Amino acid sequence: MLFSFLRGCRAFFVISIAASVLASLCELVIPKIISYTIDVGLGDVPFYVPAPFAWAENFLGSLGTARALALFAGLILAIAVLMGCCKYLENVFNRKGAETLVENMRNRLYEHIGRLPFAWYMKNQTGDIIQRCTSDVETVKAFLSEQLTSVVSTTLLIGMSLGFMFGINTTLACIALVSIPIVIAYSAFFHGKIGARFQYCDENEGKLSSIVQENLTGVRVVRAFGREKYEVDKFTVQNNVYCDAWVKLSRLMSLFWAAGDLISGLQVMIILVVGAVLCVDGSLTTGDFIAIVSYNSMLTWPVRSLGRVISEMSKTGVSIGRIGEIMAAEAEQDVSGAVDADMDGDIVFDHVSFGYDESAKILHDVSLEIKKGSTVGILGMTGSGKSTLVSLLCRLYDLPEDGGKITLAGRDIREIKASSLRKNIGIVLQEPFLFSRTLRENIGMTFDDVGANEAAITEAARAACLDETIRNFTNGYETTVGERGVTLSGGQKQRTAIARLLASAPPVMIFDDSLSAVDSETDAKIRAALREKTADSTVILISHRIQTLMSADKIVVMAGGRITESGTHEELLRAGGIYKKINDIQTGLPEEIAQERG
Amino acid sequence: MDETNTKITHLKLFGIPRLLPHLKAHAPMMVIMILLGIAGSAVDIVFPKYQEYAINHFIGGNTLDTIVPFIVTYAMFLILKIIFDVNSTFMASKIEMYIGRDLKKKTFDHLQTLSFSYFNRNSVGYVHARVMSDTGRIGTLVSWYLMDCVWNITYMVGALAVMLRTNWKLTLIVLIVIPIVTTIVALMQKKLTDANRRIREMNSKITGSFNEGITGAKTVKTLVTEDKMLRRFTGETEEMKKISVSEARYRGILWTSLTAASYIALALVLHRGGVLNVDGVMALGTLSLFMSYSMGIMQPIRWIVSSLSQLITVQVNIERLTGLLETESDVADSAEVIAKYGDMFEPKRENWEELQGDIEFENVSFKYPDGDEYVLRDFSLKIPHGTNVAIVGETGAGKSTLVNLVCRFFEPTSGRLLIDGRDARERSQLWLHSNIGYVLQTPHLFSGTIRDNLKYGAPDATDEEIMAALETVSAAGIIEKSEKGLDTEVGEGGDLLSTGEKQLLSFARAILCQPKILVLDEATSSIDTFTEQLIQNAIEKVIAGRTTFMIAHRLSTVRNADIILVVRDGVIVESGTHKELIAKRGYYYSLYTRQYEREATDSAFAGAFAEKK
């Protein structure tokens, strides 16, 4: 999986590493030049150049000291500029790689999550999914773009500088070499060890954080019961525990750094002393001595950070696993040979039984025929399975094999492409969801080009009794809703969702208790507009209000996951069942209240 | 929202003066830290001198005569440096944590005294970030910024001093580089700060999009707008990539020019120093010393310039936190009241009068501190003790206003609230709160055991009293059902219990403290009929004999109230008994009939169901 995310960014990382190697090479050449300058330009070592450059020998000899110095200084500058360019490329390409990687990961996660079946959303917690898509993605990015590349380039740097050192003097190079594994091992061991302590600190931070969180969300309770002192005491205790945990950890950290400093300090000292001895001995030139000291100091930091990086890399596995779980979840998929929806026909629920989990069935053997172009009303109490019924029709959930079937124009909806089915069946949910975009964009959500459909949007808003409300906002249709914009009331949200449905005008429209938060005056107005707008559409109305349902061509009554009565308003009244009873209660309302009065 | 604030605040001296009063307590530790830091940095300056000595004396003189003292003193300095460094870094961490801890405590304590207008204006997330992250960031800034300052400045000053003493002309040549470096860093740093701010904004946008995609999944699916959503999302991630890469470019230029600058310095030293060496003015070791220093001082220079951006970013945190600490509660007890009744943390219960529960609104006008419109105008109402007041209206209509005033979560803008005939402001808030029982619509329990939660308002309650209270509200079943009884953990926010159970427990919690005034915010969410019946019974029992304010949804509660206040768009539009209001055929009537439809439908179904079984 990791490799598939790397597609398109591997080249960037390779270039970045190559640039970093080149930069290191430049960096390593400079001490060599200084050493040469000191020995040859200033000291008494005779001019020498490697065999292929023998032609340069005379040239150098002819320059004279001052000019040779200027030449070397210029050479250093030139190399420094080259090195700077390499470092720049290293930085930019590494970041390009990292950002391409993250972009890939995010886009693919987003796309994949969008394709997952609705049941998956019900099983997983939003916060957890988001964490996987954000901080776990960051961890993986850090692993590939920082840790992995730094391990590669540091290893190369260590290798190369050791190479240079060995080229100068074996004894000193060996001293430097010996200390490297010690420092890396020590630092990796320490960072691994300290992980538990970090976790302890994090846990305590979590506890402290939730005390604050609970205090703030429960501020009314705290105040109303006058328990401020108790809260403060509780907080203080945990605050101290948290603080002490960190102080203890940082004492450990300071000691760790000190030990690291000691090791590298001693190493520098040994190199200095041994180097001096070798110089006096005559087996090392002054310039080489200075070069070796430079190489050694160049190694100190990369080596020390390598240990930390190695120990941090182990944490990445967890994040990769957590992202992998999302990517492995099975996406919604149409069966092979799935066709576009043929809307020229009736919708039939044929002995449908369904439950979200095996043990509790929500629908029991429901059969219902919805004629094309007709309006069907569903009356039922809270939790009777009305919403489940329409969720099944939109294939938010798929019926199990033995759960009967739902057909559209004679074809099992499982054989129809989900996208085609849903495009043709619009639904207004009981608790509608609006996007944090402008009202115009929200209503025109199903249009590819919102600007080109302005008339349809305004028209839909008017039908949903929303146009006037929107025009009263300062920004009108450009008002952004949601977290970053205005908060709409429940009724306004429902009306926006209705307008959204009307704007897209699908052949089948479902209103799932969609006017529950709208006052009865507006309710009546919207219903009148709807009748006009939906004349040619198949409409499914879910409500507990007889008035909303009575003009439907067919009304079914649902109780306990079963259809208990069905017929037109008049038929149901004649049948004298629950429907009639409820009708009597609702139409008889004023009298009953009058009685109460009396 | 809060982390993405796009405004950059400008405070005097980066807001540091506003922090000073909060840092006083740690001044002695800071002084020690600074001294240790200076000492450690000073020792650091010594080490290149050893290199110089090795080259000039041993190698140049071709002798090893002082090699033993060389090693011994070097090791001594090394140990000294480590001792200084361990202590100064540990000291810095300690200061960081202590400042964080103290600021956290101050902030938390202060929050307990702030009035509700503060909590209405600021979201929980915002306030939480002030307590938890601003304090930490300020602690880090103060201690480590100071530490870095000490280290870098000492090193730079020390190194320059040594260089100047050794050869001032050569030093001046090196210094030419400094203005170049400073300009580049300053230029890039500004761009970097900008880019980083945009990256943060983009990041929260992307997180928001994930959130929207997940919480709106049902709608996205039914509207079949997956492609449209994905298009917008990929637009965002692409934008993010662009900004990030351009940030990397600025960073790259910064690093490149810094590296180049330090090598310019090196080349200058090598060239000029080489000439001096040939002239016999400067020994080789001294030349290498110069090279070390001239490379070494680049880091401090870079730090000093770039750290300004750190200060700029933290300013926002400083401003927000000090802003919180300086906010004064608009509901505060007067000095006389505190003198007599004590404050929140040290109440003088011996002076508290018994509360009867007579409440009177006397010409009360009220507008919320953050609102422009009056929601109450010249409102007068006498509520004798034991009265049952129901407040009805649509969700979000502003039903809590009266309750907020009675609980003194807010004070009237004008007019008076009388409790037992005396202005509420004549007694302490805690006195009032100790006499109020409060049951929230969404019951809020604290993590801990059931017992902890029940005793929340009555810390001295015995187990017998607790059980009696549970019995009263028919919640004893919850305890019997749980293995650990009263010691059962309820989880964070009480999440291990069902909503109905939480409701019942919060009833028990409210009556355990024997309140004279009871505030109930009835739940709208559907709970199973059995629990609903239990809660209904509980309500009837607990309101008897108490002055009760109920934000009511159930018809039965509303019908039986002594007085009903009807709220629409934040304003009380009708008031009276149920009969009076029905007769009026006004807004209450329409609210009531709508609710009636729903309840009647459900109960008709329930009845039909029962018959079948």
CA distance B43 to B45: 5
pLDDT value of position A439? 92
Could you tell me if residue A593 is inside a domain? yes
A50-59, A477-486, B211-220, B328-337: the lowest-pLDDT one:
A50-59
Nearest chain B residue to A218 by CA distance is B444
SS3 call for B330: coil
Q: Do B98 and A243 touch (CB under 8 A)?
A: yes
B6 touches chain A (CB under 8 A): no
CA distance A416 to A398: 12
**Residue of B86, B275, B447 lying closest to A254 (CB–CB):** B86
B200 touches chain A (CB under 8 A): no
pLDDT value of position A597? 46
A568 touches chain B (CB under 8 A): no
Contact A478, A457 (CB under 8 A): no
ipTM of this model?
0.83
pLDDT in tens, B143-199: 998 899 999 999 999 999 999 998 888 898 888 888 888 888 888 888 888 888 899
Q: Do B270 and A253 touch (CB under 8 A)?
A: no
Q: By C-alpha distance, which of B270, B277, B287, B285 is closest to B61?
A: B285
Residue B347 is classified by DSSP as: B
pLDDT value of position A225? 81
Nearest chain A residue to B286 by CA distance is A290
Q: Do B245 and A226 touch (CB under 8 A)?
A: no
Could you tell me if residue A280 is inside a domain? no
* Residues 65-104, chain B, touching A (beta carbon < 8 A): 67, 70-71, 74-75, 78-79, 81-82, 85-87, 89-90, 93-94, 97-98, 100-101, 104
Q: Do A215 and B214 touch (CB under 8 A)?
A: no
CA distance A423 to B286: 81
Q: Do B58 and A280 touch (CB under 8 A)?
A: yes
Q: Quick check: B561 pLDDT over 60? A: yes
CA distance A278 to A286: 10
Q: Quick check: B23 pLDDT over 60? A: yes
Q: By C-alpha distance, which of B537, B545, B483, B527 is closest to B507?
A: B537
Q: Do B128 and A216 touch (CB under 8 A)?
A: yes
B481 touches chain A (CB under 8 A): no
Pairing mode, strands B436-439 and B517-521:
parallel
Q: Other CB atoms closer than 10 Å to residue A577's CB: what's the count?
A: 15
Please count the CA atoms within 13 angstroms of the CA of A521 that sit on its side-chain side: 3
Contact A523, A517 (CB under 8 A): no
CATH of the domain at A40: 1.20.1560.10
Confidence band, pLDDT 50/70/90 cuts, at residue B613: very low
Could you tell me if residue A70 is inside a domain? yes
Q: What is the pTM of this model?
A: 0.78
Chain-centre distance for alpha carbon B88: 30
Closest-CA distance of chain B to residue A68, Å? 9
Interface residue of B72, B446, B589, B602 to substitute, partner A, most A CBs within 10 Å = B446
CA distance A126 to B165: 65
Could you tell me if residue A256 is inside a domain? no
Chain A residues closer than 8 Å to B495 by CB: none
Cα torsion for B239, B241, B242, B248, to the nearest 10°? 150
Chain B residues closer than 8 Å to A577 by CB: 608
**Residue of A254, A269, A286 lying closest to B89 (CB–CB):** A254
Q: Other CB atoms closer than 10 Å to residue B542's CB: what's the count?
A: 22
Phi-psi region of A412 (alpha: psi -120 to 50; beta: other; left: phi over 0): beta
**Residue of B89, B221, B596 lying closest to A118 (CB–CB):** B221
CA distance A35 to A208: 58
Map B348-369 to HEC letters: CHHHCCCCCCCEEEEEEEECCC
Alpha helices in A366-506 (DSSP H): 386-393, 418-424, 439-443, 454-463, 467-472, 490-504
Q: By C-alpha distance, which of B130, B56, B46, B103 is closest to B80?
A: B46
Q: By C-alpha distance, which of A556, A218, A512 is closest to A390?
A: A512
Contact A481, A439 (CB under 8 A): yes
Could you tell me if residue A219 is inside a domain? no
A246 touches chain B (CB under 8 A): yes
pLDDT value of position B476? 82
Q: Do A381 and B112 touch (CB under 8 A)?
A: no
Cβ within 8 Å of residue A242, ≥6 positions away: A201, A204, A205, A207, A208, B101
Q: Do A247 and B608 touch (CB under 8 A)?
A: no
A276 touches chain B (CB under 8 A): yes
Nearest chain B residue to A217 by CA distance is B124
Q: Do A490 and B131 touch (CB under 8 A)?
A: no
Domain count, chain A: 2
Nearest chain B residue to A209 by CA distance is B132
pLDDT value of position B442? 72
Q: What percent of chain B has pLDDT over 70?
A: 95
* Residues 150-189, chain B, touching A (beta carbon < 8 A): none
CA distance B427 to A226: 14
Architecture of domain B2-326: Up-down Bundle (1.20)
- Give the largest CA-CA distance in chain B: 117
Residue where the block lists tokens 């109440």: B347
pLDDT value of position B397? 67
3-state helix, strand, coil in chain B (%, to 5): 70, 10, 20
Chain A residues closer than 8 Å to B55 by CB: 286, 289-290
CATH of the domain at A402: 3.40.50.300
Q: Do B113 and A228 touch (CB under 8 A)?
A: yes
* Structural domain range at position A422: 347-597
Confidence band, pLDDT 50/70/90 cuts, at residue B525: low
Residue B29 to residues B34, B105, B143, Cα–Cα distance (Å): 9, 19, 10
Domain stop point among A151, A166, A181: A166
Q: Do B433 and A224 touch (CB under 8 A)?
A: yes
Could you tell me if residue A406 is inside a domain? yes
Chain B residues closer than 8 Å to A83 by CB: 259, 263
Chain A residues closer than 8 Å to B608 by CB: 559, 577-578, 581
Alpha helices in A169-227 (DSSP H): 170-217, 219-224
CATH match of B385-407+435-612 with 3.40.50.300: yes
- Give the largest CA-CA distance in chain A: 126
Q: By C-alpha distance, which of A298, A422, A364 is closest to A29?
A: A298
* Residues 36-55, chain B, touching A (beta carbon < 8 A): 47, 50-51, 54-55
Q: Other CB atoms closer than 10 Å to residue B161's CB: what's the count?
A: 12
Greater pLDDT, B8 or A405: A405
Q: Give chain A's residues under pLDDT 50.
A: 597-598
Confidence band, pLDDT 50/70/90 cuts, at residue B600: confident
Confidence band, pLDDT 50/70/90 cuts, at residue B501: confident
A38 touches chain B (CB under 8 A): yes
Q: By C-alpha distance, which of A348, A392, A385, A382 is closest to A367?
A: A348
DSSP states of B134-181: IHHHHHHIIIIIHHHHHHHHHHHHHHHHHHHHH-HHHHHHHHTHHHHH
Type of residue numbered A313: M
Domain stop point among A118, A144, A166: A166
Q: By C-alpha distance, which of B462, B448, B442 is closest to B512?
A: B462
CA distance A17 to A144: 12
SS3 call for A502: helix
Please count the CA atoms within 13 angstroms of the CA of A422 that sit on its side-chain side: 21
Domain stop point among A117, A138, A166: A166
Chain B residues closer than 8 Å to A427 by CB: 222
Contact A312, A191 (CB under 8 A): yes
Q: Do B51 and A213 touch (CB under 8 A)?
A: no
Residue B12 is classified by DSSP as: G
Chain A residues closer than 8 Å to B241 by CB: 99-100, 102-103
